[in-house]
Every structure is written in structure tokens, then in C-alpha cells.
Amino acid sequence: MKKYTSKIEKNSIIPLSFYEQYAVKKGLRDDNGKGVLAGLTNISAIHSFDENDLPISGILEYRAINIKEITANLKLENRFGFEEITYLLLFGELPTADELATFTRKLAEKRQLPPDFVRDIILKATSKDVMNSISRSILTLATFDEKVGDLSLENVLDQSLNLIAIFPLLAIYAYQAYNHCENGASLYIHYPDENLTTAENILRLLRPDKAYTDIEAKVLDLALILHMEHGGGNNSTFTTHVVTSSGTDTYASVVASLSSLKGAKHGGANIKVAKMLADIYENVSNHSDETEISDYLHKILNKAAFDGKGLIYGMGHAIYTVSDPRAEVLKSYVKALAKEKGLEEDYQFYNRIERLAPDVIAKNHQIYKGVSANVDFYSGFVYQMLGLPEELYTPLFAIARIVGWSAHRMEEMLNMNKIIRPAYESVLSTKNYVKIEDRV
């Protein structure tokens, strides 16, 4: 295969200078992370620069409401918010108490799979890659839908609500099936409780005794809210816009977005963070020694430690410069959960790395914008404290982000009537065809 791959490399790698020559932004972003404007949206907004183009603390708004205000009010009122913010993102306004109760009940009623689906689909051909298992289940569910190709807004909304409701089941059952078939673990399939929230049901479905504490469920609820939506330009949501513009059905659209999200540079990043931090914890003898921690971070950046990639995962973001508001919100809850779990020293260890890493990165690399902890830095720690298996880290992201995908799919359907097709410039000179007997 090597002779074939060498041909691919020879004829496919484009010199970096060409991108400058043709004024093409790699990744469709400039050095400051500002993206090429590809569309308009009413669903969410991300702000990292002020009107003078100076970097500011990151701001994330859901339907024009600051995420910090949303989460602060939920914390103040000590209640769950996933269902309420799902309503906000899908319908564009906050629900009344009656509207929220009706909507929550509707989602609960939809939280069920077709008869024998777990036995006939999920328990067969299990995979450690839960994201692939979810994709297979979704495409199979399309065969149960007599209106699979109906692109009316009403039908797409109904399909979206069905998928939002059952995503936790598809993810957790897929993990349990794999863990049973491949690792010999006991198999238990709990049914969801209609009286519980999405976050509570996730913990109930996953744990053998169905038990969880209030703070565990509240922190998971918060993590889901923070991952629900992040503008139309993130890779998986842009995928939603692209495939929706082609006129495909809801199930195909969601599977395409799932395939994007599972990438290590997108939804799989929190696993990398968790592995890296475990590596640092193991190789740093004194977890309070900031000099020793900094030295090891330098080794990671110099490709002399961890995975040899030269990256400190969980640090920096494509868009945010000064700070990621999602990380700031999550961190405030992480401290309380760590206290309940007796893991305050681990929390302080994370805190030291968060504080030291930006300075280490600045000393090792030329950087064009600020570097701070992103939401993945703390989400992996949250999932560890909740005892969630690593195989479910990215699926949990999907359980949340399908809300944003659904809102963007419907927005694309309502506002665009052209298939998305950007241009790529060929950098080759024209060649003549050579007959086979003349080739050398």
C-alpha cells in the first residue's frame, strides 16, 4: 500500500504558499479565528471581539440570551433546564410554565423505541464506537418511519423531537450492549421514567441501581445545556446546513452531523483532554509543584510526552480568545461536585494546569490570539466524577447537540432554497492525456 499512498501524497499535497497566493483561509478561518461568513442565523451568537476588533471575554447567546444569564437563573432557582432550553432553541422564545410542562411531557412520551428494537438492532453487531452504533440505529429507525421523506416543517419538527427524546436511550443501550458482549459485564436495560428529566434519566439508565444525587444530575444537566448549541459554523452544525440544503431527510442529516461530531478535533476532544490529564497526573510526582507541572507541559508541547502531537488539549478555541464562557460556567459547578465526591485535590490540580498552560504555550509558540481553557477541559473531569464511561463522552455531546442541529435544520429549510456549494480553485496546469504504451 505504501507505493499507492506515496503517489497520493505526491499528487495531493498543496504547498502552504498557494493558500496565501490565492487568499484562501485554511479551515475557513483567519489567524484570529474569525470565520468566513457563510450564512445568517437567528439561533445563537458567539462574540469574542468588540466593535473595535479587540479581543474580549467570550460571550455565547442562545436566541439572544446570554448563556451565563440562563445558567445563573437555573442555579438560583435550583432546577433543571435541558427541556426549557431545548424549547428556547427550537421555537425561539422562552416557554411559559404551562408550555414548558406540556413540552416536557411530550418529550417524555416520545422517549421510547419500537418494540424489540434493543434486542434486534442494538444488541446485534455491537461496537466499542458508540457513535457508529447510534448512527446505525438512526438509519434503521428511518425504516420504521412511513413519512421519512416528508420535508414539511411539521413533520421534520416531529422527527426532530423523536430523535432528541431517544438519543440517550440509543447511546446508553449501545454502550451497555458492547460492554456486555465484549467485556462480559452484566446486562441491564432500564426503561426511562416519564417523571424524570433528561439528565436524571441518563444517570438512571446507566447505573445498575438507578441511583444518583441531585447535584450529579444538576451538573450533568448543565453540561448538556452548555453543549446544545454553538453557532452555525461549528463543523457538525455546518454539516447540518450543508446536507439539509441538498433536500435529504432528517435521519440522514443527523447521521451526517454525528459523523462530523465524532472526530477528535470536534466532539472527541474531551476524551483527549481526559487522557492527557491522566498522563500528567501519572508523570508529575508532586501535584502541587507548579514548576514540575510546567516542565511536563513543556515536554508535551515539544512532542516529548503524552501522544507526541505537541498539543495541550483543552486549551484554546477556534473562536474564543480571552475566555470560553462555557468553561467558566462549568467550572463553577465542577468545584461543588468535586467537594461532594471528595476530589478537591484533583480539582486544584486541574486548576493549576488551567492557569499554567497558557503561559507555557505562549513561551513555546508564536500565537496570534489569547489561549484559555475551553469547555472540553472541564467536561471530561465532570464525566469522570460522575463515573461515566469514556465511550459515552462524545455521545453525551451528541445527546445535547442534536437540539442545535434540529434548530439549524429547520432554519435552513425555511430560509434557503439553494444547495450549498462553495468553490475550490484548481492549482494544476492543464496536461495532455498519454497513451498507455507511452507511459513510463
Residues carrying an active site annotation: 317, 376
> CA–CA separation, 67 vs 206, rounded Å?
28
Closest CA to 91 of 68, 63, 70, 71: 63
In whole angstroms, how far apart are CA 151 and each of 159, 244, 249, 405, 430?
Answer: 10, 10, 7, 16, 43
Q: What is the dihedral of CA 324, 77, 94, 410, to 10 degrees?
A: 50
Cell numbers given for 391: 465511550
Closest CA to 168 of 221, 128, 237: 221
> CA–CA separation, 11 vs 423, rounded Å?
20
In whole angstroms, how far apart are CA 161 and each of 19, 74, 108, 412?
Answer: 42, 23, 10, 17
| Beta carbons of 137 and 121 less than 8 angstroms apart | yes
User: Taking the CB of residue 246, how many other CB atoms lie within 10 A of it?
Assistant: 12
> CA–CA separation, 224 vs 82, rounded Å?
7
3-state SS, residue 44: strand
Phi–psi pair at 252, nearest 5 degrees: -65, -40
Edge-to-edge strand ranges of the sheet holding 44-49: 44-49, 55-62, 65-66
Instruction: Tally the residues of the chain.
Output: 440
> CA–CA separation, 396 vs 198, rounded Å?
11
In whole angstroms, how far apart are CA 222 and each of 30, 82, 219, 317?
Answer: 31, 8, 5, 20
> CA–CA separation, 60 vs 374, rounded Å?
13
Cell numbers given for 145: 418511519
> CA–CA separation, 276 vs 350, rounded Å?
11
| Beta carbons of 240 and 256 less than 8 angstroms apart | yes
